[in-house]
Structure 1
Amino acid sequence: MIRRTLLVLLAALAGVLLPPATAGADPGPARILDVRPLGGRQLEVVVHSAAMDRPITLWVSNAGAGTPVLYLLNAVDGGEDGGPWTRRTDVAEFYADKPITVVVPMGGRASYYTDWQADDPVLGRNRWSTFLGDELPPLLQQRFGTADRMAVAGVSMSATSALNLAIEHPGRFRAVGAFSGCPRTSDPAARAMVYAQLGVFGANATNMWGGPADPAWPAHDPTLNADRLRGTALYVSAGNGLPGRHDSLAEPDRAVVGGIMESVIGPCTGSFLARLAELGIPAATDLRAGTHAWPYWQDDLRNSWPVIAAAVGA
């Protein structure tokens, strides 16, 4: 993922756009297709999304009936390129004794986990906000007896997604964790980064939120819409790009590429936190030395837990 991140930074200057696609046929009903035990509390759950008209695979740590739900969203590769929570952190062990059901969608690369305006020639149909906010919660409640108390956390690309999900679904998510993300999308520099991240995977952000003047861009900017997060428990983290506790010269990709990426994300996160402060909206924060790397996000799992647990009553 680090090498892809370097390509993101280089591609940000190009702004190459692909032609939009058109929508397809009407889908069938949302439903759980399969549940496969993986050992202990872990399950592989396959859900048919009506909004996207395709199966979505979930990794689930099932804590039992009556427990709240935490979505953990993957980074820009959607967990499809060797970088999911389940491989790069100890998520299974950490939550094994926690009274919360954890759900990790294994997909959604370069999608921002949002509803796209048009199907993309490479990614196909993306209606992730509808799937995660509307379709999936009742299915989890019906099959596993989970409570309607929910939280969502994301890392890198999906840190913005997690904030937007809470904004788009008022009252659905009581807590949000945003780990090393840029909670801005509507200014020219932020838009260029969004186009670049999607472009690395051959996808076109114009299919997501339209052209540069489309109102969908500011509508999906957490900094502009920060007032809609009032009442939501927030945990926000970012590094400054300098070597931190998990960095060493033995890992040049992390020290150089991860450092560059986090040096951009740090100020972006800072502007978001400044807006929260202006509005009088509290947030727990971890602003640290460090790069754009999974060991820091594993730390965020632990550091965000008290905030999430209190908000969802876990």
Structure 2
Amino acid sequence: MILGTAAPARAVAAPHGLRTADNGARIVSQEWLDTSTFDFTVASPAIGSDQKVRVLVPRGWSSRSARTWPVLFAFHGGRDTYVSWTRSSQIKTIANTYDVMVVMPEADNGGYADWWNYGKRGTPRWEQFHMSEVRQLVERNYRAGEVRACMGNSSGGQGCIAYAARHPGAFRYAASMSGILSLLSPGIPRLLTVTNLLNALDPFRIWGIPGVDDANWRAHDPLALAPRLRGTGLFIASGTNGLPGPLDDESTVVGGLIEAPTGTTNIEFRNRLRELGIPVTARLYGPGSHSWPYWRRELDAVWPSLMSAIGAAKTGSSA
């Protein structure tokens, strides 16, 4: 579909002739929300169910174009969904001024990992969904290019950095906003276990049992994977002390309980990169909660670097 000829905002069967992913994942429906935003649904073998993906396309985009576009993958945090970035941030407004596609896949509370499942593995395989199925589907059907960056907030930030390390070269730039960047630091396994229990999950299915399956935890741990990030542009941002910051009010101050340990892992991660001689832009800002006002601020701060890294040119104002 050519930009500017969007269908009404309703889900319809996917057009004929769409290509599948290598493992048979296929697009079963798509829905245009406006002239620059559409959702598509994937019948995903990796997850074992249908999953949604939201896409922002730039001016002049067409699925029939001879060219491709640079891509930003935007990953969401826990207890949220694929709609979070367009619902809670200014991403649509600023993306509209650049020649970039933004891909925002569902991640549920999946930990951005193929689940360990007590060593049996199997579904859900969130890493396979994101890094193989979604990537292949947008490249084969929607003219997404092979030049990519990623960013994420909270667990999405951890996922972005971990994916960049586990798939060297997949992303030219990786940005984390309040992501836990050291999974095995003191107190962090307990924090993640409690968080996932509150999400009504068996927390040991994701990475395994802390102290027993630590090798699998390390295999997904940004801190442990840090040497594999050489050559990738990096941005991390987090509050560090859990105190209320300039953008907090009564509705956001509780987020300090999460941001303090998160910030500690960001400091560790920054220090480890410095030891390795790997450049990183680190905005570790002291007071400030685990909340959207700060992530919107950091989105503005990192956006030019993301676009520069993938060669996405500025196209004009958002009006």
Q: Does 1:67 align with 2:66?
A: no
**Kept in 1: contact 2:188–2:261 (CA 8 A):** no
Work out the percentage of aligned pairs sharing the same amino acid. 31
**Kept in 2: contact 1:137–1:148 (CA 8 A):** no
**Kept in 2: contact 1:77–1:108 (CA 8 A):** no
Q: Which whole-Å CA distance do the structure 1 matches of 2:34 and 2:156 have between them? A: 28
Candidates 266, 270, 275, aligned match of 1:273: 270
Q: Normalising by the residue count of structure 2, what TM-score does the alignment of the two structures yield?
A: 0.82
Q: Which whole-Å CA distance do the structure 1 matches of 2:283 and 2:311 have between them? A: 23
**Kept in 1: contact 2:164–2:174 (CA 8 A):** yes
**Kept in 2: contact 1:183–1:268 (CA 8 A):** yes
Aligned residue in 2 for 1:243: 244
Q: Which whole-Å CA distance do the structure 1 matches of 2:136 and 2:160 have between them? A: 19
Query: What are the equivalent positions in structure 2 for 1:36-185 lying under 5 Å apart?
Result: 36-63=31-58, 64=61, 65-79=67-81, 84-105=84-105, 107-118=106-117, 125-185=123-183
**Kept in 1: contact 2:70–2:145 (CA 8 A):** yes
How many pairs were matched up?
277
Aligned residue in 1 for 2:26: 31
Aligned residue in 1 for 2:290: 292
**Kept in 2: contact 1:110–1:197 (CA 8 A):** no
Unaligned runs of 5+ in 2: 1-21, 62-66, 313-319
Which amino acid is the alignment partner of residue 197 of structure 2?
G
Aligned residue in 2 for 1:210: 208
Q: Which whole-Å CA distance do the structure 2 matches of 1:273 and 1:221 have between them? A: 14
Q: Which whole-Å CA distance do the structure 1 matches of 2:300 and 2:259 have between them? A: 20
Q: Structure 1, residues 29-62: CA drift from partner, whole Å, max 9, x if none?
A: 1111222111121001112222123211111102
Aligned residue in 2 for 1:9: none
Q: Structure 1, residues 65-104: CA drift from partner, whole Å, max 9, x if none?
A: 5211111111111328xx8122111221121121111111
**Kept in 2: contact 1:28–1:53 (CA 8 A):** no
CA offset at residue 114 of structure 1?
Answer: 1.1
Q: Which whole-Å CA distance do the structure 2 matches of 1:134 and 1:59 have between them? A: 16
Q: Structure 1, residues 117-145: CA drift from partner, whole Å, max 9, x if none?
A: 229xxxx9321111111122221112111
CA offset at residue 205 of structure 1?
Answer: 2.2
Q: Structure 1, residues 182-235: CA drift from partner, whole Å, max 9, x if none?
A: 101124511111111211111122111222221101111111110011111111
Task: Label 1:113 to 1:216 Cα distance change in 2 as closer, same or farther (>3 A).
Answer: same
Other structure's SS at 2:172 match: strand
Other structure's SS at 2:175 match: strand
Aligned residue in 2 for 1:14: none
**Kept in 1: contact 2:153–2:295 (CA 8 A):** yes
Aligned residue in 2 for 1:11: none
Further displaced range: 206-215 or 227-236: 206-215
Which amino acid is the alignment partner of residue 97 of structure 2?
D
Candidates 277, 282, 286, aligned match of 2:279: 282
CA offset at residue 173 of structure 1?
Answer: 1.3
Q: Which whole-Å CA distance do the structure 2 matches of 1:28 and 1:136 have between them? A: 11
Other structure's SS at 2:176 match: strand
Aligned residue in 1 for 2:18: none
CA offset at residue 111 of structure 1?
Answer: 0.9
Q: Which whole-Å CA distance do the structure 2 matches of 1:268 and 1:202 have between them? A: 25
Q: Which whole-Å CA distance do the structure 1 matches of 2:189 and 2:257 have between them? A: 18
CA offset at residue 297 of structure 1?
Answer: 0.5
Other structure's SS at 1:178 match: strand
CA offset at residue 28 of structure 1?
Answer: 6.9
Other structure's SS at 1:225 match: helix
Q: Which whole-Å CA distance do the structure 2 matches of 1:209 and 1:260 have between them? A: 23
Which amino acid is the alignment partner of residue 113 of structure 2?
T
